[in-house]
Amino acid sequence: MDTKRIQSGRAIGLHVSISGRLKDSVERAKSVGCVKTFQIFTCSPRRWNAAPLLDEEVEEFLQGVKTNDYNVFCHMPYLPNLCSPDTKFYDQSVSVLTREIKRCNALEIRNLVLHTGSHLGTSVSDGHERFVRACKKSIKDTADVNVRLLIENSAGVKNSVGSRFEDIRSILEKIGVPERTGVCFDTCHAFASGYDLRSPKTVKQIAVEFDKIIGIENLKLIHLNDSKGELGGSRDRHENIGEGRIGANGLKAVLLLDEFSQVPVILETPIEHEGDDKRNLAAAKSLMGMAPC
């Protein structure tokens, strides 16, 4: 495999803001150097309600995406918890999932990333059951659309669901609709839950394990984030590329691994100072041998 050629055309980008108008996210993606891909929320991630998508706004966004040849990913808002044992909260969370699938479809976004959530002290098995039920209902209620749900591995924090590959495999199997599901692999979350990504050797071992348990064909997106926390520390704290506990050597191994070479990459690194997003994306590109812009 010509890794150098593949990396030069690799889809790599950032999560960008939709502040203003949706179309502005495309310009932001261009300005920071996103290549072929970027990620957005369709609405405020910290509110339950979402303003309707206006036809003109959708058309502007679609034109910008097509003109610049972007494959856009979407992330679920933060408030929903698809594992919640609280019936009212759970039903509201499922409603938001269904709504976001429909909004993605209107925007021709084919992949929606979602967190598995917290079982809030009930049990992992109960959390799994509620999460699976939520996904199955939303998929059934949007049977006429083509949007894939990407299950993101969690960091292993208390009461969380989906930090181990076996958990994710079980979820995918129980949902049972492979054409509408897939996996988003977050490097910070994996490291926090005990997967050692600090060297080419361990990265290769983890890729082999992922393929054996989940299947590499189910990997649709990589969230490339360094980690503020220690290996197995269960801390969901993202760090700048090469400045965390995973480090540049490990993240480079993730980016250059043959098994991951066709998978789009999105950064969700901290923005504490102006230009941090562009700087982190340039750092990731440098690890792959790509030009920064």
State the average pLDDT over residues 100-112. Answer: 98
pLDDT at 290: 84
Backbone angles phi, psi at 184, to 5 degrees: -110, 120
Please pick, among 115, 128, 130, 235, the residue that the annotation labels catalytic: 115
* Structural contact between residues 105 and 142, judged by C-beta atoms closer than 8 angstroms: yes
Q: Catalytic: 186?
A: yes
Could you report the per-residue pLDDT of 38-63, keeping only the tens digit for each? 999 999 999 999 999 999 999 999 99
pLDDT at 9: 79
Q: Catalytic: 128?
A: no
Q: Catalytic: 119?
A: no
Name the residue among 125, 67, 99 with its Cα closest to residue 114: 99
57 φ/ψ sector (left φ>0, alpha ψ -120 to 50, else beta): alpha
Please pick, among 152, 167, 226, 277, the residue that the annotation labels catalytic: 152
Backbone angles phi, psi at 151, to 5 degrees: -80, 120
Q: Is a pLDDT exceeding 80 seen at residue 7?
A: no
Please pick, among 46, 55, 272, 274, the residue that the annotation labels catalytic: 46
Tokens 């949902």 -> residue:
175
pLDDT band per the 50, 70, 90 thresholds, residue 261: very high
Please pick, among 99, 128, 164, 189, the residue that the annotation labels catalytic: 189
What are the strands, taking DSSP E only, across the chain?
A: 12-14, 37-40, 71-75, 111-115, 148-152, 181-186, 219-224, 226-227, 238-239, 265-267
Residue 157 CA to residue 124 CA, distance in Å, equals 12
* Structural contact between residues 14 and 32, judged by C-beta atoms closer than 8 angstroms: yes
Q: Is a pLDDT exceeding 80 seen at residue 231?
A: yes
Helix, strand, coil % in the chain, rounded to nearest 5:
45, 15, 40
Q: Catalytic: 46?
A: yes
Please pick, among 100, 239, 268, 277, the residue that the annotation labels catalytic: 268
pLDDT at 64: 97
Residue 225 has which token pair? 């984030």
Could you report the per-residue pLDDT of 120-178, keeping only the tens digit for each? 999 999 999 999 999 999 999 999 999 999 999 999 999 999 999 999 999 999 999 99
State the average pLDDT over residues 282-292. Answer: 90
Please pick, among 59, 78, 166, 173, the residue that the annotation labels catalytic: 78
Q: Catalytic: 226?
A: no
pLDDT at 1: 44
Q: Catalytic: 126?
A: no
pLDDT at 38: 98
- 10 Å CB burial of residue 120 (0-12, 13-18, 19+) is middle
Please pick, among 10, 15, 28, 75, the residue that the annotation labels catalytic: 75
Please pick, among 100, 226, 236, 277, the residue that the annotation labels catalytic: 236
In order of their start, the domains of the chain are 3-288 (3.20.20.150)
- 10 Å CB burial of residue 137 (0-12, 13-18, 19+) is middle
Residue 213 CA to residue 202 CA, distance in Å, equals 16
pLDDT at 155: 96
Q: Is a pLDDT exceeding 80 seen at residue 10?
A: yes
Q: Is a pLDDT exceeding 60 seen at residue 5?
A: no
Q: Catalytic: 236?
A: yes
Please pick, among 128, 164, 180, 186, the residue that the annotation labels catalytic: 186
Please pick, among 223, 226, 235, 245, the residue that the annotation labels catalytic: 223
Half-sphere exposure of 15 (CA within 13 A, CB side): 20
Q: What is the pTM of this model?
A: 0.96
Q: Catalytic: 273?
A: no
